[in-house]
Amino acid sequence: MTFLVLFCGVAAVCLSSCDHIDAVGDKVNELKDVRKQSSQGVEGMDIKAIVSGAQNAGPTVQDIGEVDFQTFISQPGRLNVVDFHADWCGPCKQLAPVLSGVIETNSTVARLGKLNVDHARELSREQGVTSIPDVRFYVDGKLVHKFVGGESKETLETLIATHSANISPAGGGGDAIPGRPRPPNAKHIEEAMKPMEKEWLPPGMIKK
């Protein structure tokens, strides 16, 4: 009878230990699956496209009007340049390709909004535009520089470099890879993978 009780006790301890080991084993396999899925997800991403998309939110050169003028100049993270122009303006046509080219080259720190004064007469009057081309530089909605007439490519590059020097790119923080989701239950699984305590014993067993 004593032997039977002892055998049952040992069997119960073994079953409990096996259950614990099986549970840890399940967590190990679950963590491996999560890591494998995460790795596959990253491998399937076009990293260059993601980074490029994060750096260039919206077109680098775009047409704007009265409705979206304020939103455009207030965009954080880049130097927002507005070109007040008109289709009939000769100097505007001469400046346009040079200005657009410089902006495209510096697309990570600047963008260009082309505003036709004939389509935004009230706004142009409010902004004090009297001659065109009238080009203005904004940072977080504040006017930091303007010029009227033409400028050389070199001068435009210097202006952009000067006025974008202290701008912090938008969208900082968060995941290292934009759009990458956090693995499900990652914290819970990693906690289960912590090394066992040195003095740990299966339930029911006493260290002698």
pLDDT digits (tens, 9 = 90+) for 65-119: 999 999 999 999 999 999 999 999 999 999 999 999 999 999 999 999 999 999 9
- Among residues 168, 151, 145, 148, which one has the least CA distance to residue 98? 151
201 lies in a domain?
Answer: no
- Residue whose tokens read 């399937």: 44
Q: Mean pLDDT over all residues of the chain?
A: 75
Confidence of residue 142 (pLDDT cuts 50, 70, 90): very high
Catalytic residue list: 89, 92
Grade residue 175 by pLDDT with cuts at 50, 70 and 90: very low
Q: Is 147 helix (H, G, I), strand (E, B) or coil?
A: strand
Do residues 125 and 149 both lie within one domain?
Answer: yes
Query: Is there a cis peptide before residue 133, judged by omega within 30 degrees of 0?
Result: yes
Task: Please give the residue that has the higher pLDDT: either 28 or 55.
Answer: 28
d(CA 136, CA 82): 5
Domain boundary among 15, 38, 55: 55
135 within some domain: yes
Q: Is residue 28 very low, low, confident or very high in pLDDT (cuts 50, 70, 90)? A: low
* pLDDT, greater one: 117 or 1: 117
* Helix segments in the chain, DSSP class H: 2-43, 47-55, 69-73, 90-105, 121-126, 153-164, 186-192
154 and 74 in a common domain: yes
The reply to whether 8 falls in a domain is no
The number of folded domains in the chain is 2
pLDDT above 70 covers what percent of the chain? 53
Does 102 share its domain with 134?
yes
Report the pLDDT value the prediction gives residue 205, as an integer from 0 to 100.
63
42 and 138 housed in the same domain:
no
Same domain, 51 and 82: no
**How far, in Å, CA of 15 to CA of 121, rounded?**
84
Q: Clarify whether residues 31 and 128 are in a common domain.
A: no
Examine the domain organization and report whether 80 and 104 are in the same domain.
yes
Q: Which of 17, 35, 55 is the last residue of a domain?
A: 55
Which of the two residues, 126 and 41, has the higher pLDDT score? 126
Determine the structural domain holding residue 47 and report its residue range.
25-55
The structure's pTM equals: 0.56
Bridge partners (DSSP) listed for residue 137: 81, 145
Tell me the helix, strand and coil percentages in the chain, rounded to 5. 50, 15, 35
